[in-house]
Structure 1
Amino acid sequence: MSTTELTDAQAQRDSVPAVPTIHDDVLLICVNYRKPAETKRFVSSAREQSLNSSLRVVVVDNSPFPGEGGVADQLEGDLNLKAIAPEKNLGYFGGAELALREHLQSHPLPDWVIVSNPDVYFREHDVLKRLCDSHRGSEPAVIAPSIRTLESFVDQNPYMRVRPSRFRMRLNSWVFSRYPIDVVYQGLSWIKHRSLDGVTKEPVSRASSPSKIYAPHGSFIALHRSYFEHGGTLEYGAFLFGEEIFVAETARRLGLTVLYEPSIVIEHTERSTATGLWNRDISRYRRQASRYLARNFF
């Protein structure tokens, strides 16, 4: 059953008298793959958030071996923390979609659904509260907060301010479809990324006001309930990569707003390593994602 069908089923159940259930205003989904230390820190950071509403944290452990998720020892006695261990790696949005689908089987649609990597954390205790309150009454469908990397203080949002051209997306599809070219492209990108590490020792000045953008950075995406109520979904047709453009195109087709909100700051402990640059599986995932996006949206 799709997310949309589950939402419709929930609406039908709401018309029938039923035993009241707890309304989870914020559903925070963390999709982990072999990052136990980061996952533990993420869960700890989320638990410290002060909210006027309820917060439910779901960790989807895509790691292939038991215990790699790093949350089993934190589950006992916490009804607002849940871990899901699929039988296989579902990918980023695949894992998030499973978490949302299971949540909707016993809970109403939350006000906010947040999909996050495990290697982010909240430096302040009221980050999620400010996210919920920032545009109350006129909430955008998608909020892209300021995501600051610790090594370079670069803000990873906006991920894309404007929509890429059809030519650019087709070119990406061509580049990623050829393994040797993909390796060179990723290597140059890695060198550029590494060159920024440590260059800026102080946080760069951020934009002072929110602005509409095309696509949010995928490491932390906040989706308002209106995204799903208008037909949005997490059912992405590729295993990995390109989730940002999928959300952007979904919002665009539905006439919804993606808003960059610089007053909300997320810390990203992303580490830039060359590991995986020559991994053929990773290259295949990029190829699949670029083809899917080019064929379906451009």
Structure 2
Amino acid sequence: MKALVSIITVNYNGLRDTCEMIDSFRNHETYPHYEIIVVDNGSRLPEAEEIQERYRGNLVPDGSLSGSPASDNPIPFPPVKVVRNINNGFAGGNNAGLKAAGGDYLFFINNDTLIKEPVLDALVRRMECDPQRNGGVSPMLKFAACPDILQYAGFTPLSSLTLRNTSIGFMQQDGPRFRTPCETASLHGAAMMVSRQALQDAGPMSEIYFLFYEELDWSAQLRKAGYRLWYEPAAVVYHKESMTAKRGSPMREFYLSRARVLFARRNLRGIRKYLSCTYLCILVAPKKAAVYLLHGQGTLAKATLCGTYRGMFVQYR
């Protein structure tokens, strides 16, 4: 029997997107042994109940598993398990889904994605090429609004100073040069498969970030545990994320600024850690805040500074 794959997605006021993602798997996925787990992260409307009713899912209150196993259900698709959770961020939602997951492989996928052809078999085959060393894999990601344009074909390593990286192939047309599987510095949070063994060795995603850098931190932990991470172009996922730059919001600026400093504190060592934190706190944050102030965007300036310095002094495990 094929290994069980647990597909885990987080829903937050996104019922339509979540249902379209589930339907795309039911319409196109041919892998014979998978389950879908939806974590509702405190949506304002009763979306957990709607998903449960629509897909005959087992409702899992507060992250604890209940209900009959999928194999007892006579419908041709496995039921969707629904977990009700408070909104404790991207990592917290995915970690809640882990409690209901029984798979040998965990496929974390954003609810605003779609597939148009099978993806699980190619991802599992990549993992099983070397199951002792391959810890995670991400598929090719394309923009749903322009399906010939790439969003992700692997990541370059993060700069140890700026803590920025580059998404290989971003905004470029798909072509032969992006069709070769290769190791990647980091998995993509919109779609990433991790083995159960790698999860046990590296631990779950850290919940200290709330937003941003969770998958980069987790990729760093997986690599520290001795695992290789892969980009697999034989599997393609379409992401509804906008192709244009997102406009700043105070919440985005706060959490992004905070996350970069937290990542440096958690993952860098020695002089690299000192230099990165100094660069982010003394140079980047004040300069960015000054630019916002010059454009009359005081709330964004405040969010940038508060996020940076909270990142420096917040306690974490």
TM-score by length of 1: 0.71
CA distance in 1, matches of 2:100, 2:225: 25
- How far 1:278 moved relative to its partner? 3.9
Identity %: 23
1:44 pairs with one of 23, 27, 30? 23
Code of the aligned partner of 1:218:
G
Please list every run of 5 or more consecutive structure 2 residues that lacks an aligned counterpart in the other structure: 59-69, 71-78, 165-169, 269-317
The residue matched to 1:250 in structure 2 has which SS?
Answer: helix
Cα shift readout 1:104-142 (whole Å, capped 9, x = no counterpart): xxx4xx221011111111101x32122222452414211
The answer to whether 1:71 aligns with 2:51 is: yes
2:155 pairs with one of 133, 157, 160? 160
Q: CA RMSD in A?
A: 2.7
- How far 1:72 moved relative to its partner? 3.6
Please list every run of 5 or more consecutive structure 1 residues that lacks an aligned counterpart in the other structure: 1-21, 173-192
- How far 1:158 moved relative to its partner? 3.8
Q: 1:222 to 1:59 in 2, by over 3 A?
A: same
The residue matched to 1:238 in structure 2 has which SS?
Answer: coil
The answer to whether 1:128 aligns with 2:120 is: yes
The residue matched to 1:98 in structure 2 has which SS?
Answer: helix
* Matched residues, number: 239
Q: 1:134 to 1:23 in 2, by over 3 A?
A: closer
Aligned partner of 1:260 in structure 2 is 231
Aligned partner of 2:34 in structure 1 is 55
Code of the aligned partner of 1:131:
L
Aligned partner of 1:296 in structure 2 is 266
TM alignment of 1:151-230, pairs within 5 A: 151-152=145-146, 153-165=148-160, 167-169=161-163, 203-230=174-201
CA distance in 1, matches of 2:56, 2:127: 35
Q: Per residue, is there more strand in 1 or in 2?
A: 2
Q: 1:95 to 1:116 in 2, by over 3 A?
A: same
Query: Are the counterparts in 2 of residues 131 and 264 from structure 1 also a CA contact under 8 Å?
Result: yes
Query: Are the counterparts in 2 of residues 158 and 217 from structure 1 also a CA contact under 8 Å?
Result: no
TM alignment of 1:17-36, pairs within 5 A: 25-36=4-15
Aligned partner of 2:141 in structure 1 is 147
CA distance in 2, matches of 1:156, 1:203: 10
Code of the aligned partner of 2:215:
E
- How far 1:159 moved relative to its partner? 4.7
CA distance in 1, matches of 2:8, 2:127: 21
Code of the aligned partner of 1:27:
S
Query: Are the counterparts in 2 of residues 144 and 157 from structure 1 also a CA contact under 8 Å?
Result: no
Q: 1:204 to 1:119 in 2, by over 3 A?
A: farther
CA distance in 2, matches of 1:101, 1:77: 16
The residue matched to 2:150 in structure 1 has which SS?
Answer: coil
TM alignment of 1:239-278, pairs within 5 A: 239-272=210-243, 277-278=247-248
Cα shift readout 1:145-180 (whole Å, capped 9, x = no counterpart): 101113343323245222322x113xx7xxxxxxxx
Cα shift readout 1:234-264 (whole Å, capped 9, x = no counterpart): 2332101112311221122111101111111
Code of the aligned partner of 1:95:
G
Higher relative contact order (CA 8 A, sep 6+): 1
CA distance in 2, matches of 1:223, 1:259: 10
Aligned partner of 1:178 in structure 2 is none
Cα shift readout 1:9-64 (whole Å, capped 9, x = no counterpart): xxxxxxxxxxxxx9971110011222221111111122232223x21111111243
The answer to whether 1:98 aligns with 2:96 is: yes
Query: Are the counterparts in 1 of residues 205 and 215 from structure 2 also a CA contact under 8 Å?
Result: no
Aligned partner of 2:105 in structure 1 is 112
The residue matched to 2:178 in structure 1 has which SS?
Answer: coil
2:254 pairs with one of 273, 277, 284? 284
Cα shift readout 1:186-205 (whole Å, capped 9, x = no counterpart): xxxxxxx9xx5xxx7x6444
- How far 1:294 moved relative to its partner? 1.3
